[in-house]
Amino acid sequence: MISKEILKEASDLIGGERNKDYGDKLKNHQRIADLWSVFLKTKITAHDVAICMALVKIARLMNQHKKDNYIDLAAYGAIAG
């Protein structure tokens, strides 16, 4: 049951309050990619951003298993997909 709960919460995040707070998820990830590209002096895509953010969540999970990291990981996976 916890798996379905995590996926539901991730789905709610993608289209819910975060969408209102930060705008369209794909446009937001592209803006992040554009900024990272300038800073890193290499081309970064919106897909790269979603994968890198998922890796941040995985790194955090290596220290402590927290539900919100699993939710965010699922959400970033969906955005990347």
Average pLDDT, the chain: 92
The pLDDT tens digits for 10-19 are 988 887 777 7
Kindly report the number of other CB atoms within 10 A of residue 39's CB atom. Answer: 9
Tell if the pTM clears 0.85, that is, is over it: yes
Distance, in Å, from the CA atom of 26 to the CA atom of 40, rounded to the nearest integer, reads 20
Share of the chain residues as helix, strand and coil, in percent rounded to the nearest 5: 80, 0, 20
Average pLDDT over residues 23-32: 92
pLDDT bin (cut points 50, 70, 90) of residue 1 is low
Summarised one tens digit per residue, pLDDT across range 33-60 is: 999 999 999 999 999 999 999 999 999 9
Q: How far apart are CA 46 and CA 30, in angstroms?
A: 5
Res 73: pLDDT: 96
Give percent of the chain above pLDDT 70. Answer: 99
